[in-house]
Every structure is written in structure tokens, then in C-alpha cells.
Copies of this chain bind each other. A is one copy, B any other.
């Protein structure tokens, strides 16, 4: 059954900017940092508190809460046809160690606001609607990130992920057991269940919407990426005595690599993204020539051919710049650019226009859970601006009015998907 234009407009009008903002501020208390950001890494006590509050709101909405074997949570609003596959929206409540209030949380809370708006508009859809809170999107504590949606789409990876050991030495399965303990008994949700469509709201994490004066980004896809872990092996020596000519200095070699790799990735069009986010010398004593440096590489680019060509030069360049040191370059993740569904993009564009929100098409530079959902169903994403494009930073900021515009688009889009 197709939902009427009038109903869609009524749903958009029922989105409550103040309620949505209050939900963000309530969530931001869990893991709040002194600098106004959030440290709420996956399956920590802070994440568990956020999950608990989400379940309380679901109860207030008379929605059913279930959880799957990797900890993804599903808030289900019934439709008139209980056997129909649901329309889904959502994102993640976990954050980077020094993250902001909106990355991830907005996608979950825009979904919850859509449910409140549907109630307020008195709409019952044909299909059920599910708001999903995916586990461990950020991947700071447990690697890799985008884990919950990845296991949802590829359940064969569950066992491997449950055995991942976090930065703090905790096994994921043990952290998840504690999460279950905090949340109390919940029904099980299967992986890879039939879904009619998926749409995810998110802050843009880049400055293009802000620079162009648009409120809504109709996301065309997610750029591909290659991620590496690099280990430079030198030789520990006394820094005051060992002649320079005889040193195997891992911090010098690693620094040469980082400078050389940035040169390789230079791009006047500023499309390529390249980052060394982790870099540490061992043993880390001022008077010891470091015998080892570890660093990470995160390399992204929309063009699959360019990414293949440049990515394949990384290991060779590191070796060429290693001097007397050895270097091991391990590729730990690799994904092609994923295009989103044209039909979902059309729904998002129409919803934005219906809500008078200026909009533009754009490609996502960041990975998101929607990438994994796109393998299972028609999927898309809605971006809203964030101040100066800053995220993965405690200073991350977005306005209540832009968030509400995004929620209006999400509410209409899931309603249209749910019919």
C-alpha cells in the first residue's frame, strides 16, 4: 500500500525539534567528557547505559525490543501486516574515545523521533518499522569497526568477532555478556532477516553541506577504503653512544615513510583521504634508539582504480624508505566503493523537498552501517551538516534545526518504505 502525500507531510510536521534535541542531550550524558564530547566506546558501561535508556524509550513507545548475537538492538513498531518484512533505519550509539554527541547517536535518535512522529500523526504503516542500534561501529575498542552491521549481513563472521580482544584486554564475548546482564532479558533477533529497505541518518563529518548552504545530503554511496597496519623493526641502542651510521632507528624510518606516503597520496583535487592515526615508538624511552614503531594507515578514495593503483604502491614505498630497518605492511581491511539504491535516493530527495530542506547529492567519505545493509536490501543515507565538518572530535557540533530536518526526511522515508 502506498502512503499518501498528505500523510507524509503530516508525519514530517509531527517531528518535534525540541524532543529530538532533548534525546540527544540525554544520551550525551553517558560518557560525557570535560570538553563537551563523548567517550562511549562499544559495550562499555557508558554504552550499556545508553542502550538501557534506548530500551526505556522503546517501552514508552510500546515498541518491542530484541537483540541479536553480536548485540545489535532492534526497536520494532508494529505494522498492519505482521508478516511483512520491516522498513529499517538506525545507526550506532557507540563513539570514538574522543568523540562527539552526534556521530551515530543522531541516526538512532532520528529513527526514534520518526516513531514518535508516526504516533503523533496517528499513522499505522503496513510493514513494521525497525530502529536499529548497531554494535561497535567505531572500532576504537574492538577492531574492526562497522562490526554489528557486518555480522548482520555476514553471520559467518560471528565467531571470529566474539573472540576479538579489545584494546583494554577484554574479549568481546565477555563485554557482550555484561551488556546483556545490564539490559536484562530480551528476545533474540536473527541475522540477515528480510528487510524491505534501510535508511540511515548521520552528520556529514565533512564541510560540503555547510559550504554550499544545504541542509540535507542525499548520499549517493560510500567510498571504498584500504586499511593497513605497519610495523617498522629497528634495533634498540644507546642514544648517546651508538654511531649514527650503525643505527637501525625505527622512529626515523617510520617518519620517512609517513612523509613519503603523504607525498604519494598528494592530490590537487583533494579527493583522496589518507591518515596515520596511530603511531608509537617502542620501548619509548628518550635515551633508547627505538627498536620498533607501529603505525596505522587509513586510505580512502571513491575511484576503485585509483585506490587499487595507489594502494598497491604502499608496501613498496615503505620498504624503499626503511633505510637499515625492516618493515612489515599488513592490509587489514579493503572495500570497494558502494553505490546506494536509486529508489531510496529518490525517496530521500522527495522527502527533503516536501520538508522545504535545500539538498544536494554527495558521496560519503566515511564508512557507515548502511554500507553493509546495502548488500541485503535497497539502502540509502541522509546527511545533515556539522559545524566546520568536524567529527571524531569532542568539539563535534550540529544544530537542533538541522537535526530536525534530517529526522523529517527519515520519518517520511521509512514511512514510505513501510507503506
Contacts and interface: CB of A to CB of B under 8 A. Distances in A.
Contact of A98 (B262, B283, B365, B389): B283
A289 B277 contact: yes
A392 B96 contact: no
A112 interface: no
A96 B283 contact: yes
Interface stretch (A60-68, A265-273, A407-415): A265-273
Contact of A274 (B244, B246, B293, B393): B244
Given A285-B140, A393-B236, A241 B206 contact: yes
Identical chains bound together, number: 2
A59 interface: no
A240 B298 contact: yes
Contact of A285 (B206, B277, B284): B277
Interface in A253-283: 254-256, 258-259, 262, 267, 270, 272-281, 283
Interface in A263-321: 267, 270, 272-281, 283-291, 293, 295-298, 300
Given A205-B241, A240-B223, A293 B270 contact: no
A147 to B, nearest CB: 13
B298 A239 contact: yes
A255 B223 CA distance: 27
A279 B290 contact: yes
A236 B98 contact: yes
A227 B390 contact: no
Interface in A226-252: 227, 235-246, 249, 251-252
B258 A251 contact: yes
A274 to B, nearest CB: 7
What 5 A-B pairs are tightest by C-beta distance, nearest first?
A: A239-B275, A241-B365, A255-B258, A206-B241, A286-B296
Given A241-B273, A280-B280, 8 more contacts: A96-B283, A96-B288, A207-B242, A242-B390, A249-B275, A277-B289, A286-B297, A287-B366
